[in-house]
Chains A and B, each alone.
Chain A
Amino acid sequence: MIKLAKNFVVGTWSLIKGLAVTIKYFFRPTVTLQYPTEKQPMSECYRGLVGLRPEKCIVCYQCVKICPTACLAITHKQEDKKKTLETFKYNMELCCFCGLCQQVCPTSAIIMTNIYEISVYDRKKLDINLLDMKKYDEWTNTTIK
């Protein structure tokens, strides 16, 4: 009988403690953001969409070799000893945002931008020609400094 009464008191007290925790946070300020209007700043090294600085590229094919999902494809023109980029295809659908291409690039030509809102309505838009960076215009409004 005493044990029962004790259990009852302890049980009720535990429930009240639970209520105390929730009411404590009820009066605390909220921690979430109003997403499309307020955005969390991405860190400096954030790994978003892959971008390219074509003038720096030396066509060494390191990024193509390291890419685990084979989402990059390059073709080049050979003039004398100098290689020039012809196409630089980036298939965003396959990309796993691992950042390996950025790390292996000897000249920092290939970079990870901080564009993270990357959904599109048309599947064709997922195939990006990195030499034509205007493609990123539709995402740039989402970039945060």
Chain B
Amino acid sequence: MLSILDIIWVLVIGIIVLGFIAVSAMFLIWWERKVSAHIQSRYGPMRVGWHGVLQSVADAVKLLLKENIVPAGADKLVWWLAPFIVVVPSVMAFVVIPFGKNLIVKDLNVGALYLMALSSVCVIGIFMAGWGSNNKYSLIGGMRSAAQIISYEIPLILSMIIVSMQASSLSMQKIVAAQAGYWNILHPNMALAFIVYIISATAEVNRVPFDIPEAESELVAGFHTEYSGMKFAMFFIGEYTNLFIISAIAATLFFGGWQGPVLPGAVWFLIKTYGIVFVLMWVRWTFPRLRVDQLMGFAWKVLTPVSFFNLAVTGWLLLK
């Protein structure tokens, strides 16, 4: 039986995590706008708060006040559920992410597997959004997304497995502990795994150069073309939370997680995570987008064989 104290504890943790997600998503949106602006020799948001830091708050308020437009002929249930199914897995992923030595909601002993499982749920939400919108552009976007995310999951999981093999555990804290003093990225096979991971993870969260599900130059906005107001904001929050999560996982699996000298663990963790986020933003604002068939070809012909090869080499190294 749950005691009252347990329930309060769960609530406190839940509020902290949700608060962190909201703040971090808003911060990332502002930051992305700033990074893109400076790359393009612009200022970006400057009006709301110092250098526009509160711009995302203003945007959120605007989106909350907006009318909820439901397209005629939409599949109502699917249409309403889709944004939640996109957001919920990314919130759930926070359970196993270690922010510091003791700063983790629950150190599951199947942490990495749990993350892999959650990353597949997101695609259902996106596909539902595409299907429920009763819009041809959205439908194509949803179809593309399903194909893309399923293909990129394989190299993603394979590269995560390599790390688990090294640490001989699926628990995130044990993976971090195994990297004490010597980060995974410093092993050549792990560096390769990191490259495969970061490419597939970019594809998982639909960012340039793999943003074909929302490809605005051909599909207008892909699966979220018809969404407005708060439901659109949910997709947005989901997208940026996912961005944070993939960077956090990369920092945990390959860059030693919260470990580092002098500064407290959580600070190190955030520095590493935001460093990876910055690289992803930098890539986004530089490259063109791949085409859907090239994207699939890249996943199946390049990334998957490379991951299997890497897996075999790592296994051999461990058994040697």
Contacts and interface: CB of A to CB of B under 8 A. Distances in A.
Direct contact of A and B (CB under 8 A): yes
A32 B39 contact: no
B271 interface: no
Interface in A22-60: 22-23, 25-26, 28-32, 34
27 contacts: A15-B287, A18-B286, A18-B287, A19-B283, A19-B286, A22-B39, A22-B282, A22-B285, A23-B39, A23-B282, A25-B39, A25-B40, A25-B41, A26-B35, A26-B39, A28-B41, A29-B41, A30-B37, A30-B38, A30-B42, A30-B43, A31-B41, A32-B41, A32-B42, A32-B43, A34-B43, A34-B46
Contacts of B282: 19, 22-23, 26
A10 to B, nearest CB: 15
Chain A, interface size: which category? 10 to 19
A77 to B, nearest CB: 53
Secondary structure dominating the interface of B? loop
A128 B282 CA distance: 50
A142 to B, nearest CB: 19
Contacts of A25: 38-41
Interface of A: 15, 18-19, 21-23, 25-26, 28-32, 34
Contacts of B287: 15, 18
Interface of B: 35, 37-43, 46, 282-283, 285-287
B303 to A, nearest CB: 13
Contacts of B42: 30-32
Contacts of B35: 26
Contacts of B46: 34
Given A21-B286, A23-B39, A25-B38, 15 more contacts: A15-B287, A18-B287, A19-B282, A19-B286, A22-B39, A25-B39, A26-B35, A26-B282, A29-B41, A30-B38, A30-B43, A31-B42, A32-B41, A32-B43, A34-B43
B240 to A, nearest CB: 20
Nearest to A17: B286
B99 to A, nearest CB: 28
B186 to A, nearest CB: 21
A29 to B, nearest CB: 8
A117 to B, nearest CB: 19
A34 B42 CA distance: 10
Contacts of A15: 287
Contacts of A22: 39, 282, 285-286
Contacts of B283: 19
Contacts of B37: 30
Nearest to A15: B287
B50 to A, nearest CB: 14
Nearest to A36: B47
Q: Kindly name the residue among A18, A28, A30 whose own CB sees the greatest number of chain B CB atoms within 10 A.
A: A30
4 A-B pairs closest in CB distance: A22-B286, A31-B41, A22-B39, A32-B42
